[in-house]
Structure formats: C-alpha cells, structure tokens
Chain A
C-alpha cells in the first residue's frame, strides 16, 4: 500500500481516483468469477404454490429432499404465500410504500422457512437468517446436513420501486436465485404447482402450450400475461455470471425433484 499526499488520502488500487459510475471503468471490472460453493443445489419451495397447501403437498416433497440428501447437497429457500397477499392488501389500503411492504412480507416467508426447518430438523437441516447465510453457511453445510433460508432477500425498506404498481419486485424466486448466483451453485430449482412455463396460465386457459426450454430474454420479449416465476429473475438471469439457468418444476409431482437434481430434463429450463 502506498499513500500519496494530496488532500484526499488515496490507497493505490486499479480503481483509485476512478469514478465507479464511469462506463469504461465498469467495463474494466469484467473478469472471471469463481464459484464459492459449486456443489450446492438451491431448492426453492413456493409459498402460495406449495406451502399454503399444507401437509399433503409439503410432506412428500420433504421426504424426497431427504431421500436425495446423500447424493446432493441442498440449501432450501422458502416463499411467502397467501399471508403476504393479505398483508399487501392491508398495507396498500393504508398507503404504505413498497419498502414497507417488502419488510412485512419477509416475515411471512421467514415463518414458512422456519416451519420447513422444524420438519427437516431431525435430518440435520438448520434455519439460517440472512446474516448467518453471509457468515456461517459454508460452516453449517460442513457440520449440518443442509440449510433452510428465507427465500425473500433482505432488501426490506430498501426494496426497489417496481416498474408498475407498488408490490415488491424481489420475492423468494429472486432471493433464492441470487443465493445460487453468488455462491455459484450447481443448480437453482424452483418448486411450483405447475409443470413449468406455458404460453398462458394453464389453470385458466386449456389451450396454453408448454415451453420446456427458453432463454430469459426470449421470455421477456414474449411479454406473457402471467408467469410462474417473478419477472425480475429473468432480468437477473440475463446478467448471470455463474448461475446461468433456473429450472421450474412441479413440486406436487413425486420424482420431479429427484430428476431435476440428476440433471434430467423435467419442467422448464430457463437459460441465460
């Protein structure tokens, strides 16, 4: 380290005195990224699609997770579901801003994640809050058999204003994906109550066509009316450095998760 003697005390570095907003400086920071936990699979359990259905949907899924424990390391993100939709409607009625809605909603997914961790506790899974994901996840994975985390990212009051309306854009799909991206996970698998991506909502439109594989940008360009995934995940995928795909599978169909973990083509694979 060396110091110069101008009024601003600089430490020598390649970014010294540079504006981090300058496009040329930003482009210079393009360099290879290493995966921190390359053998971990991020599994996201949907809130509305799985958790809210209770025992009949969740317990077979947890059995399948446990059955795969010996072959695959897994960390499990959990979504919020109907309680968040309720508090969104109350919060919006009260005039609360997006950041406040995000702070409130994160408690619903925390509750769901905590319940999942209780159900998996006897198999060695631990529940980790965001600060512990930052500090302890590798140690916990070495010592414990797996971890459960809150799918909603810790943006809280700092949630981004959405493009449309007031709902927080980063839910548990985004949070789980970002965990996969930052750790360079082997796979990111989202468990929903539909088989994957369709040209329309298959619950409403029987003519809807199934899409087994697509690029994130293609899906953005198609401007589908509804999606089985938070749209922000598609944007994040276009900028991926490590987690370059997300697989959406039906968590209500036994065997799907096992096949997805093996790398079989099941559900919809969304690629960068």
Chain B
C-alpha cells in the first residue's frame, strides 16, 4: 500500500488518525448510509411471565397462529424469562451476587423458554439458534420461515449495572429490540398478556387509562412508575437508525399476532417522533 488513503473509503483517513471519542468524528460516522440486512424479517418477542408461564392455555393457540403465518411472514421468535428469573434474581440478590451474574442466570431461564417453544415448533422445521449461530439465521428464515432464539442479549458477565438496584437493565425486551435494529427488521412485535400500554399496571390499577399510540419521546417524558417494556428499549429506540416503531399486542387474544404481522394497528404502537407514518 503505497498511498494508504487511496485504498480507503471516504471516512478512512479520519478514522485511522483521529480520536474515536471526538464528537466530530462520531458525527461523521452517522452520515454513512444504513443498509438493512434482513428487511423482510419480523422479530416477535413471546413474553415469559405473560405467555410462557401460563402453559398450554396461552402457548398452544399462539403456536398455532405462528404456524398459520409461516408461509406469509418470516419471523425471529425470541422468548422472555418470567417467573423462574424472578425467583433466581431474588435468590442471587440475597446471596450478594452482582448484576453480571444475574444476567448469566436470567439468560438460562429465557433459554429454557426458547427450548420449550422450539420443541412445540420442531415438527415444522423451526430451529433454535444460539447467539453464536446467528450467521445461519438467513438460511433458516428463507427455508423454514422462522427461527427461535432466547431473548436475552448475550452480555453475560459484561451486563452494566442499572441506575438503581441490581436487576439487569437490558433483558429480553431489549435483546429482541436490538436484533430487530441490527437486521433492519420490518417489524418488532411484543406479545404480552395486556392489550397494550396503560398509564399504570392495569392488573393492579383498574382505573388506569389505555394508550393506543404514543411517541417514545412523550412516553419517556411522562416518566411513568411502571411500563410495559424495559426502559432500555425506549432509550435505544430514541436513537435507533432502523426501527421506527414497536408494537405491543395481547397474545391471549386470537388473531392479534396475525393482524400485527399484516400491518394492522392492533394493541399499542410506540413510534419515534417525526417518523410517524
């Protein structure tokens, strides 16, 4: 390489010699184009406590609806953790273990739920894929139409501490969101056991108000005590480059997943201001 600059793309010189903490260089990297890796894929997160822990009555109808959509919509199915994660988090906190260890423990629970979902979908040729195997994912999506993965991001011991307490701040909602964001997915759908977002937890406060559509900026500004989704998802969404909206549907109501996959405005949609379509 006689003249290094000639073989480098436009940003190359700046990146090679400048400081990566320099805001002007960071800004310049934002001007590069955004290529969507899997623009036709839908990421569907199946709740742990809200769906999987209910067993057959909730899971079987949802599995049937997933199977019915196989020919029409390609899906990455991520699972939440749920009750067993709550148990092991409280035990591990009592034992004085740090957040990173709680992430390792919680990941195992999401993994168990993903395995169970995978057993139920195995006869349709749907594989379970570990984070390390994600490079095979396009093949299975093309051939079989869906894959199952555990929803936790693979941070392991490297999970950052939360602002308060010890619960890992980036859990399965966030892991699934980041899959959708990195692949430039068509949709990010969260399947829970509520019709969507309320001003407070409707299980505890029957007078809470339903919110069918809200911008992520408004929602963050309201600073609600409780939310339908991990706060990290909202923070990341506000600065995401690909995902413009996320949808929350009630997986206990037959037809909602199909409607959401078809692009209908069921449940609650959280969108990014300025990008509302």
Point out residues on A near B: beta carbons under 8 Å: 1, 7-16, 18-24, 26-34, 36, 82, 85-86, 88-90, 92-100, 130-131, 133-134, 153-167, 170-171, 175, 178-179, 181-184, 201, 225-227, 229-231, 236, 239-242
On whether the beta carbons of A97 and B242 are closer than 8 Å, the reply is: yes
Contact partners of B9 in chain A: CB under 8 A: 89-90, 92-93
Contact partners of B181 in chain A: CB under 8 A: 97, 99, 161
B16 CB, nearest partner CB in chain A, Å: 5
B49 CB, nearest partner CB in chain A, Å: 7
Contact partners of A100 in chain B: CB under 8 A: 37, 182
**B73 lies within 8 A of chain A by Cβ:** no
On whether the beta carbons of A226 and B33 are closer than 8 Å, the reply is: no
On whether the beta carbons of A178 and B157 are closer than 8 Å, the reply is: yes
On whether the beta carbons of B155 and A154 are closer than 8 Å, the reply is: yes
The answer to whether residues A161 and B241 also contact, given A20-B167, A26-B165 and a CB cut-off of 8 A, is yes
The answer to whether residues A86 and B8 also contact, given A97-B37, A98-B182 and a CB cut-off of 8 A, is yes
CB < 8 Å neighbour of B239 from A156, A162, A230, A239: A162
On whether the beta carbons of A156 and B86 are closer than 8 Å, the reply is: no
B168 CB, nearest partner CB in chain A, Å: 9
Q: How many A-B residue pairs have CB under 8 A?
A: 242
On whether the beta carbons of A8 and B54 are closer than 8 Å, the reply is: yes
B226 CB, nearest partner CB in chain A, Å: 4
On whether the beta carbons of A225 and B23 are closer than 8 Å, the reply is: yes
Point out residues on B near A: beta carbons under 8 Å: 8-12, 15-16, 19-23, 25-30, 32-35, 37, 49, 53-55, 57-58, 83-84, 86-87, 89-91, 93-101, 104, 131, 134, 153-167, 171, 175, 178-179, 181-182, 184, 201, 225-231, 236, 239-242
Q: Give the complex CA separation of A97 and B228 in angstroms.
A: 27
Contact partners of A21 in chain B: CB under 8 A: 226-231
CB < 8 Å neighbour of B158 from A99, A153, A171: A153
Q: Give the complex CA separation of A154 and B152 in angstroms.
A: 13
| 15 additional contacts (CB under 8 A) given A7-B58, A24-B225, A226-B21 | A7-B54, A14-B90, A29-B166, A86-B12, A130-B158, A154-B156, A155-B154, A157-B179, A158-B153, A164-B30, A166-B241, A178-B157, A179-B158, A182-B99, A230-B21
B112 CB, nearest partner CB in chain A, Å: 13
Q: Give the complex CA separation of A178 and B55 in angstroms.
A: 37
On whether the beta carbons of A34 and B97 are closer than 8 Å, the reply is: yes
B203 CB, nearest partner CB in chain A, Å: 8
16 A-B pairs within 8 Å (CB atoms) are namely A7-B57, A15-B89, A21-B228, A21-B229, A23-B225, A32-B96, A34-B95, A95-B34, A100-B37, A131-B156, A165-B25, A167-B29, A170-B158, A175-B158, A178-B159, A241-B166
Q: Give the complex CA separation of A170 and B25 in angstroms.
A: 16
Q: Give the complex CA separation of A90 and B9 in angstroms.
A: 6
A205 CB, nearest partner CB in chain B, Å: 12
Contact partners of B175 in chain A: CB under 8 A: 158
Contact partners of A227 in chain B: CB under 8 A: 19, 21
Q: Give the complex CA separation of A85 and B164 in angstroms.
A: 35
Q: Give the complex CA separation of A163 and B159 in angstroms.
A: 18
10 closest Cβ pairs, A-B complex: A95-B35, A99-B182, A182-B100, A93-B9, A29-B165, A34-B96, A165-B26, A158-B153, A153-B158, A15-B86
